[in-house]
Amino acid sequence: MSGRWLLVAMVIGVSTLAGCSGGGSGSGPVTPAPTATSAAASSPPVTEPAVTAPAADTFVDVVRARLPEVALDRRDEEIQAIADAACADLAAGKDADDVVAAARSLGTLDAGATDHATARELIKLAIDLTCPEQARRVDEF
């Protein structure tokens, strides 16, 4: 962006100086000074790299990226077990509240290992990435 402003300032400066030079009567032809506008116009604009989502397509990878507090100190198998348990409960037709309550434990004996919102997010991720056949139930969470 600062390069464009520099280019604009140069063009204005050259134009101003070209108008000020000369013999005073304007008898001679004025040749414009070469500018860098054609080169700058043809070069692609510099853009900042876009922030991309992690190239993850597994439940474990997404949980590690989006919910690091859940993944902290847990092995991949333990994280995947959260999805597997949620998918099993959904397939068994368990009530949404029961599925959330089980997910809140994060596979531990602590019934409140995480909050309701995080448990619901884990269940939605499990549906999307582990058991898409349960997609009809995603709105319950």
What predicted TM-score, i.e. pTM, was given to this entire model? 0.59
Q: Select from 93, 60, 116, 91 the least CA-distant residue to 102.
A: 116
Tell me the mean pLDDT in the region 130-138: 96
Tell me the mean pLDDT in the region 116-140: 96
Given pLDDT bands bounded at 50, 70 and 90, which one contains residue 8? Answer: very low
> Two tokens at 80?
């995947």
Query: In this structure, are 79 and 36 located in the same domain?
Result: no
pLDDT at 21 over 70: no
Nearest 5°: phi and psi at 89?
A: -65, -40
> Two tokens at 115?
């909050």
Query: In this structure, are 38 and 64 located in the same domain?
Result: no
Q: What secondary structure letter does DSSP report for 46?
A: P
Range of the domain at 67: 59-140
Contact 55, 65 (CB under 8 A): no
